[in-house]
Amino acid sequence: MDKFIIEGGTPLKGTIAISGSKNAALPIMAGALLGDSETTITNIPRLQDIYTFNNVIRVVGARVDFDDQNNKMVIDPTHVSHLEAPYDLVRKMRASFYMLGALVGKHKYAKVSLPGGCAWGPRPVDLHLKGMEAMGIDVELDGGYVIAKADDTLPPASYELSPSSVGATVNLLLASVLRSEEFTLKNAAKEPDVVQLCEALVQMGADISGIGTDTLVVRKVDSLKGIQIHNDPDRIELGTFMIAGAMKPGNELELTGCDPEQLGNFPELLRETGASVSIEGDVITLKAPDVLKPVSITTDIYPGFPTDLQAQWATMLTQAEGSSSVTDTVYYDRFSYVPELSRLGAKMHVDKNTVHISGKTMLTGASVMSTDLRASVSLVMAAMVAEKTTEVLRIYHLDRGYESLEDKLNGVGAKIKRADDQ
């Protein structure tokens, strides 16, 4: 199991190219299974989650050719015949549950493991299942698997997501475009990942209206064709590097291949800290302030502040002059990074779904342990401004969602070494 050994205190100066979005790529990969011919996707990141989903798709019979040196993938769905996604693959990544919508939408039948083997009950996948039942799909649970069956054509129906969910929106879109006479999805997620999936499906021949709003209307079409599509840049990776760049005086980063429109008001929030943020086309230039101002935030569904950036923002605030807070209204228990940052010297405490931060604190290297993807990168960010050496353990979490992270950061001045944790 690998770890990072990080020497802190070096300024970050230089250019980082933003990779393709994992969260946009996975739904498009699932959507490719709905076509009658092969789909080519470019700007696919080399990430563990991508390789995992490749294996899930191959299990059902599709051909997947991933040219990971050129970030290009070709998916041929014409030989899909095994309509089952097994537990040993689905358990590795929740997005594998998209196979439910893709298989029942295309083939009228799917048998897909519940993520993590969770039982029927108050779980996030309930929204997926209840939405499909509202659509007219027969859904039952059998031994930790969801079995879904659909008729050739499903009658008009509607469903309102409560709360809004990207995963459920994606799954219900995949299930409905070839089956539902008319399906109205209310309180649908508006994230750029969902918008790009809708646009890809429309390019394939789907009939979807309301794209970019919280009400999507899907009308059945007889077939979909394969397409060529360029995957969006990763707005969470972009936001992570922008926050990291703001943390230490002297940092200057140029971030290329961006889509600034997907950031919403995030650049303006970062400017409130005193950071200089300049946007020109697909390039964002960031300079850290001499004195970082504390700016409290509350996460919300898109276009609000992303929950996937709250750990990074809280980490940055340890270097701000004054008190601040970060509240997560999307995931109430997403603060596993706090005890680990405290080991480095951060002054933070959690009260319900809010972490309170007292700054500025001097951070000093120690051994810390990653617990999830975004918590992991927050530890790397803290280690880069800490004195002395920090070991970040269990960095396999990072390999799920950040392409070549240490290479990109070392290229702008960081001192990060990957080593075997033995």
Count of CA atoms in the C-beta half-sphere (13 A) of 187 = 11
Question: In the prediction, which pLDDT does 94 show?
Answer: 84
395, 5 contact by CB (below 8 A) = no
Catalytic residue among 118, 269, 279, 393: 118
The reply to whether 118 belongs to the active site is yes
Question: In the prediction, which pLDDT does 371 show?
Answer: 85
Question: In the prediction, which pLDDT does 346 show?
Answer: 98
Question: In the prediction, which pLDDT does 121 show?
Answer: 40
Question: In the prediction, which pLDDT does 117 show?
Answer: 39
Higher-pLDDT residue of 25 and 118 is 25
* Pair type for strands 322-327 and 297-298: parallel
Token digits for 236? Answer: 């969470």
Question: In the prediction, which pLDDT does 118 show?
Answer: 37
Among 17-21, 178-182, 194-198, 371-375, which stretch is predicted with the lowest mean pLDDT?
371-375
Q: Indicate if the pLDDT at residue 57 is higher than 50.
A: yes
Question: What average pLDDT score do residues 350-375 get?
Answer: 94
Instruction: Say which amino acid occupies 294.
Output: P
User: 163 falls in which pLDDT band (50, 70, 90)?
Assistant: very high
* Residue-range domains of the chain with CATH: 2-16+233-420 (3.65.10.10)
Question: What average pLDDT score do residues 137-151 get?
Answer: 96
Among 54-68, 219-233, 238-252, 330-344, which stretch is predicted with the lowest mean pLDDT?
330-344
Q: Indicate if the pLDDT at residue 313 is higher than 80.
A: yes
Q: Which residues contact 281 (CB under 8 A, 6 or more apart)?
A: none
User: 122 falls in which pLDDT band (50, 70, 90)?
Assistant: very low
For the chain, give the mean pLDDT. Answer: 95
Q: 404-407 — which CB contacts under 8 Å span 24+ positions?
A: 404/19, 404/46, 405/377, 405/380, 406/4
% of the chain surpassing 70 pLDDT:
98
Name the pTM for this structure: 0.94
Which of 218, 179, 189, 216 has its CA nearest to residue 34?
A: 179
User: 32 falls in which pLDDT band (50, 70, 90)?
Assistant: very high
Q: Indicate if the pLDDT at residue 62 is higher than 90.
A: yes
% of the chain surpassing 90 pLDDT:
89
Question: In the prediction, which pLDDT does 299 show?
Answer: 95
Question: What average pLDDT score do residues 336-359 get?
Answer: 96
User: 375 falls in which pLDDT band (50, 70, 90)?
Assistant: confident
Question: What average pLDDT score do residues 389-409 get?
Answer: 94
Question: In the prediction, which pLDDT does 116 show?
Answer: 60
Question: In the prediction, which pLDDT does 333 show?
Answer: 83
